[in-house]
């Protein structure tokens, strides 16, 4: 994946959090889990990354609630993983959201602005501040 170089550590943190959540969601499923991470160039100016698991899944009514600070269903959870992920992505001009998958599991997706040059090198979009 060609990630915008601006906040590599932040993006690593986002992916790590989403992957850990996915792994935790699959822990008690009794079936072999599968975590699928993919990235696509979305049009000219967006990178779309998705992390899909086959875990317990999400109720449609929780799809937004899980991004609230301290919302957790885990005895040892802080409930801060997803709000932090969202603020990292939004600070780079992107968006992060969850969808309740068809069948088992949940999918988390984020988009980030990128700029494609004549040489097709993905570069961070100019800051909007
Ligand atoms: N992949 C997923 N599948 C199902 N539910 C999820 C998934 N990811 C997050 N959730 C739900 O969202 C809640 C909030 O997630 P978040 O990462 O913010 O905190 P946490 O995982 O509970 O705690 P921490 O990140 O500190 O370990 C989780 O407790 C869980 O209920
Ligand atoms: Mg978490």
What is the average pLDDT across 52-81?
95
- Report the mean per-residue pLDDT for the chain: 88
Q: 96: CA distance to ligand 2 center in Å?
A: 14
Exposure string of 12-29, with b = 16+ CB inside 10 Å and e = fewer, is: eebbebbeebbebbbeee
**Ligand 1 contact via 78 beta carbon (within 6 Å):** yes
Cβ atoms 124, 5 nearer than 8 A: yes
The residues that bridge with 110 in the sheet, in sequence order, are 49, 96
pLDDT of residue 123: 65
Please give the number of the atom of ligand 1 that sits closest to the Cα of 67. Answer: 18
In order of start, what are the domains of the chain with their CATH numbers? 5-124 (3.30.565.10)
Query: What digits encode the pLDDT tens for the residues 25-44?
Result: 999 888 889 999 999 998 88
């Amino acid at each position: 994946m060609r990630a915008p170089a601006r906040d590599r550590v932040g993006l690593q943190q986002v992916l790590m959090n989403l992957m850990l959540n996915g792994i935790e969601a699959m822990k008690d499923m009794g079936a072999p889990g599968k975590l699928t991470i993919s990235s696509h160039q979305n049009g000219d100016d967006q990178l779309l990354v998705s992390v899909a698991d086959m875990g317990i899944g999400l109720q449609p009514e929780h799809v937004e609630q899980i991004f609230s600070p301290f919302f957790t269903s885990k005895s040892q959870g802080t409930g801060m993983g997803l709000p932090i992920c969202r603020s990292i992505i939004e600070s780079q001009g992107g968006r992060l959201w969850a969808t309740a998958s068809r069948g088992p599991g949940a999918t988390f997706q984020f988009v980030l602005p990128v700029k494609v040059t004549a040489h097709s090198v993905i570069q961070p979009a100019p800051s909007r501040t």
